[in-house]
Amino acid sequence: MVQIPRWKVIASLVVIAFGFLYSAPNVIGASGQAWVEEHLPGWMPHKTVNLGLDLQGGSHLLLSVDVDVVLKERAGTLEDSARKELRGERLGYKRIGVIPNGVRVTLRDLEDGDAVRKILSNLEDGLDVTVDGDKVEAVFTEEYLEQTKDQVIGQSIEIVRRRIDETGTNEPVIQRQGEDRILVQLPGVDDPARVKDLLGKTAKMTFHLVDQDAGIDARNTGSTWVVPYVDEPMRTLALKRKEELSGDALTNAQYAQDQTGQSAVSFRFNNTGTKKFCDLSRENVGRLFAIVLDKEIISAPVIREPICGGNGQISGNFSIKEANDLALLLRAGALPAPLTIIEERTVGPSLGADSVAAGKVASMIGLVAVLVFMAVMYGLFGAFASIALFVNVALIFALLSGLQATLTLPGIAGIVLTIGMAVDANVLIFERIREEIRNGRSAIASIDAGYSRAMSTIIDSNLTTLIAAIILFSFGTGPIKGFAVTLAIGIVTSFFSAIVVTRLMVVGWLHNKKPTTLPV
């Protein structure tokens, strides 16, 4: 153990050098980082540890996904399809309507039960069709419901991520929590109200023709839909319920200005949407064409001429911010289901700064206490362990920076705990060396025995702690994961610093001084 191959020495020194190099951006600050980026090559390390919500302030939102709305829409679509198929097959019925998670057909003739059951079974996969007297029910299976829930929540998370990314928020945390909830953490957000407004809108845009046959007192019917204007809720317009186009056909949306210089939103359709819009505008020149967003009319222009270029523009009483936000929503896409904010917490930057300061103080107190203890208890060897401790801290921040991990307050707690644990292996080794010296062995033999015989104990203790960290990361959420990450990284780096770095210094001192007694 007192002979270290040259390649191991070189490899260890390279790791140490890279540790200090990659952790340096966290120490030099913003001004030093700007100097590095300006004067040093681009391959030089520049990544820093990202501060979490509790350290730099920001917003914490817990959103609930209303999956029932999607199921009701699908049940409504199922009803329309069933009605159309039954009429096509000339099968009479007393009534047809939506029931929870499905549809029910009340038969006029009991002999039509099998035929109706067959038609309903072929409407969509994932239906459980039963016949009970004069009633035929088609209900979504449990497997279909679970699959739909997972699909809707997955799509919602993706849309939320797109909307957040469009706002320029750095390192947001967006993840599923529980059955039907989405956790959103936005570090450093300075306008949480705008983010909440963006996330609260479904942004489902549809295009409808105005129902010219409806009168002034028009009401909602199977074919007519009375919709209010977004800026004048008391003013309504009767539209054809059937949508001619949807926002799914859009490929882009940007802020623009109309011919009068007012804020507007320009958009572009995909190839399919371009053809549909061209045919629709050609066939309905002179008619009102309503653009509906989340069940409100945002614009209802008159079609002056066929529009076949695939481009369009939404104008209205928009401010610049409103037009930009509308364009953002359209680019990101519509949410498959409404989102409701059920929990909200805001952490101010001053509170986050206090947490960072407290974390620094705690780390420094822990570091100084460990340094003093090691110096008092083990003298020169304690100084070697203290130097290795600084290497350990540098390696922790180098790995956190390289992984672009987010450091939270529990993460700082994990680092403080690691500082204490980092010298644990050295304590075991040094105590074993002392025991060998008391048994009358030479300096070299004592050091060799200390490192070799304490190794199994060190591996066992670090391995058990690492297993606990992995379990915490696997089953924990948010802050618990942050603690587990820093703890696991600290275990790996402390093992390296204790076994490799300290031994390099001890062996180097031993070969240089060739002592007869050991200062431990």
Q: Is residue 157 part of a domain?
A: no
287 and 409 part of one domain: no
Looking at 315, 345, 375, the residue that finishes a domain is 345
Q: Are residues 337 and 353 in the same domain?
A: no
Q: pLDDT of 63-98, one tens digit each?
A: 999 999 888 888 888 888 888 888 888 888 888 988
Beta-carbon neighbour count of residue 482 at 10 Å? 24
Residues 298 and 311 in one domain: yes
Strand partners, 311: 268
Q: Compute φ and ψ for 403, nearest 5 degrees.
A: -80, -5
Is residue 518 one of the residues assigned to a domain? no
HSE-CB of 327 using CA atoms within 13 angstroms: 25
Structural domain contains residue 336? yes
Question: Is 421 part of a structural domain of the chain?
Answer: yes
Biggest CA-to-CA distance, the chain: 109
Note down the domain range covering 106. Answer: 67-145
| pTM beyond cutoff 0.85 | no
Nearest Cα to 83, choosing from 98, 72, 68, 73?
Answer: 98
pLDDT in tens, the chain (520 residues): 567 788 888 898 999 998 888 888 877 765 565 665 666 666 667 777 877 777 777 788 899 999 998 888 888 888 888 888 888 888 888 889 889 899 999 988 888 888 888 988 888 888 899 988 889 999 999 999 999 999 899 989 988 888 888 777 666 788 888 888 998 888 877 677 778 888 888 888 888 988 888 777 778 877 788 999 888 888 899 998 888 888 888 888 899 888 788 888 888 888 888 998 899 889 988 888 888 988 889 888 888 888 888 888 887 778 888 888 888 888 887 788 888 888 888 776 666 677 777 877 887 888 888 888 888 888 888 889 889 988 998 999 888 888 877 777 788 888 888 877 778 888 888 888 888 888 888 878 888 888 888 888 888 888 998 999 899 888 876 678 778 888 899 888 988 988 888 888 888 888 887 777 777 7
Among residues 310, 330, 345, the one where a domain terminates is 345
Residue 234: HSE in the Cβ half-sphere, 13 Å Cα cutoff: 0
What's the CATH number where 445 sits?
1.20.1640.10
Q: CB of 295 within 8 A of CB of 73?
A: no
In a domain, 169, yes or no: no
Q: Are residues 272 and 294 in the same domain?
A: yes
Burial class (CB in 10 A: 0-12, 13-18, 19+), 517: exposed
Q: What is the pLDDT of residue 262?
A: 85
Asked which of 345, 377, 407 is the last residue of a domain, the reply is 345
- pLDDT of 140: 92
| Pair (407, 283) in one structural domain | no
Same domain, yes or no, for 209 and 281? yes
Write down the pLDDT at residue 141. Answer: 92
Q: Quick one: residue 37, left, alpha or beta (phi over 0 = left, psi -120 to 50 = alpha)?
A: alpha
Shared domain check, 123 and 35: no
Assigned domain for 225 exists: yes
Q: State how many domains the chain has.
A: 3
CATH of the domain at 107: 3.30.1240
| 332 and 426 belong to one structural domain | no
Considering the domain architecture, whether residues 378 and 424 belong to the same structural domain is answered as yes
**Within a domain: residue 185?**
no
Residues 378 and 499 placed together within one structural domain of the fold: yes
Same domain (yes/no): 444, 331: no
What's 335's domain CATH number?
3.30.1360.200
Q: pLDDT (tens digit, 9 = 90+) per residue, 419-463? A: 777 788 888 888 888 888 888 888 788 888 888 888 888 888 889
Whether 295 and 370 share a structural domain:
no
Residues near 59 by beta carbon (within 8 Å), at least 6 away in sequence? 53, 184, 185, 186, 189, 192, 195, 196, 344, 345, 346, 347
- The residues that bridge with 129 in the sheet, in sequence order, are 138
Helix (H, G, I), strand (E, B) or coil at 299: strand
Distance CA 449, CA 284 (A): 93
Report phi then psi at 4, rounded to 5: -115, 120
Alpha-carbon distance of 60 to 46, in angstroms, equals 28
- Count, in order, helices (H) and strands (E) of the chain: 15, 19
User: What does the buried/exposed string (b/e) look like for 178-193 if buried means 16 or more CB atoms within 10 Å of the residue's CB?
Assistant: eebbbbbbbbbbeebe
Residue 156 lies in a domain: no
15 residue type, one letter:
V
